[in-house]
Amino acid sequence: MPDAERARRRMVERQLRRRGIADERVLEAMGRVPREAFVREEDREHAYEDGPLAIGHGQTISQPYMVALICETAAVRTGERVLDVGTGSGYQAAVLAELGGEVETIERVPELAAAAHANLEAAGYDERVRVHVGDGSLGLPERAPFDAIVVAAAAPEPPPALYEQLSERGRLVVPAGDRGDQRLLLVVRSPEGPAVARSVPCRFVPLLGAEGFEPW
């Protein structure tokens, strides 16, 4: 993609910083990940526009602002164990890896998981991100605990299975609500129980699975 680096800089300054993303580590990570490598070839000229893009199988790659907001809310630090639910094309997993996370990512659609693995490998992230196929609403209990879990699909409520896979003071960032009225939530695990903070309104594809929505 011609001028991809310039497009990333413009995305960081105009779409992210101006809209309130303040964590410089997140801004730098978003400025390093080649988003054009995680969209369909026919959509590469639109890779840095501030909107979601279809990636097939009824799924999308989230808009850059929402990826940045999720990552900023998760506050991932170097060496932390991170679970990315809803791999999609692999873009958010790559950003989490750039933040220093040891990333496990899970996708329910095998074809998308395979494509994400290929995207991550081509972009140089395959050694920092492990892709799994399965029900993301149930997480990866065999790999738990996680310091942060981020979800790129909306659940009716924060899935209990994901909360249980958090380490002490671990953070779960998940869109929650019905299919038309959703909020981004931050859920922190503590000895007193879940501490929940509500963030911005959002609109995500539904999280399908045992602790998400049933398929249509």
DSSP state string for 107-161: ES-HHHHHHHHHHHHHHT-TTTEEEEES-GGG--GGG--EEEEEESSBBSS--HH
Task: Provide the 10 A C-beta neighbour count for residue 160.
Answer: 12
Confidence of residue 181 (pLDDT cuts 50, 70, 90): confident
- Name the catalytic one among 62, 89, 137, 190: 62
- Does the structure show a pLDDT above 70 at 41? yes
Q: How much is the pLDDT for 199?
A: 80
Q: How much is the pLDDT for 1?
A: 59
Q: Which two tokens stand for residue 123?
A: 């972009």
**pLDDT tens digit string along 6-36?**
999 999 999 999 999 999 999 999 999 999 9
Q: How much is the pLDDT for 214?
A: 86
CA–CA distance, 168 with 182 (Å, rounded to integer): 26
Q: Percent of the chain, pLDDT > 70?
A: 99
- DSSP designation for 49: S
CA–CA distance, 67 with 71 (Å, rounded to integer): 6
3-class state of residue 206 by DSSP: strand
CA–CA distance, 148 with 168 (Å, rounded to integer): 10
Confidence of residue 210 (pLDDT cuts 50, 70, 90): very high
Q: How much is the pLDDT for 2?
A: 60
Q: How much is the pLDDT for 216?
A: 57
Confidence of residue 180 (pLDDT cuts 50, 70, 90): confident
Q: How much is the pLDDT for 102?
A: 97
List, in order of start, the domains of the chain with CATH numbers: 4-202 (3.40.50.150)
CA–CA distance, 13 with 81 (Å, rounded to integer): 29
Give the pLDDT mean for 147-152.
97
Segment holding 184, helix H or strand E? strand 182-188
Query: Which residue has tokens 């999609």?
Result: 88
- Does the structure show a pLDDT above 90 at 39? yes
pTM of the model: 0.94
Residue 216's contacts (CB-CB under 8 Å, 6 or more residues apart) are none
Q: How much is the pLDDT for 137?
A: 97
Q: Which residues pair with 154 in a beta bridge?
A: 206
Q: Are 158 and 187 in contact (CB under 8 A)?
A: yes
CA quadruple 110, 61, 85, 73: dihedral, nearest 10? 170
Task: Provide the 10 A C-beta neighbour count for residue 65.
Answer: 19
Q: Look up 199 and say whether it is catalytic.
A: no
**pLDDT tens digit string along 114-137?**
999 999 999 999 999 999 999 999
